[in-house]
Amino acid sequence: MNAIQPSRPPLQPIEKRRVTPRPKRHLRQRSYQIMALETTAKIAVNLAISGAAISALVQLLPYHWSQQEKLREIKTEVKQMEGRVNTLQAEFSRNFDPHQTKAIMQQQGYRFDPSQRQVVFMNQDPKESAQPDVSP
């Protein structure tokens, strides 16, 4: 069984199919044309998108610049208001400080502490005090 058996010729001969040559040249040209058309369409679409983006930027840049200017103005106003708020907070804390109530009462009103003496300065001209009054 392990012996080599002679090869048998096929009983029916295999028919060869007729191969008709296709025009490969025409198909290649057509595929190049399709690729060129597709590439041209892609470039056109990209140019249209780029044009829309550039026009949007041209319209948005002046708006952006004006917003930046407004932001600078607001920042300067905020700095001014912060200074004013700080002074008002200092004054507020001074007004409600229990250790300074007497000093504030004396500043804002004409009341004095009963233990203090009121000193009143009278303006006198030195000429009047030096010369006696002479009446005719």
Distance of alpha carbon 81 from its chain centroid, rounded? Answer: 22
Please state the separation of Cα 98 from the chain's center in Å: 46
DSSP class per residue in 112-125: --TTSPP-------
pLDDT, tens digit, 9 for 90 and up, residues 77-94: 999 999 999 999 998 888
Average pLDDT taken over every residue of the chain? 81
- Phi, psi (5° rounding) for residue 114? -60, -25
Please tell me the pTM assigned to this model. 0.43
The secondary element (H helix, E strand) that includes residue 23 is: none
Could you tell me if 102 and 113 are in contact, meaning their C-beta atoms sit under 8 angstroms apart? yes
pLDDT tens-place values along the chain, 136 residues long? 566 766 665 566 566 666 666 556 666 677 888 999 999 999 999 999 999 999 999 999 999 999 999 999 999 999 999 999 999 999 888 888 888 877 777 777 776 667 777 777 888 776 655 555 555 4
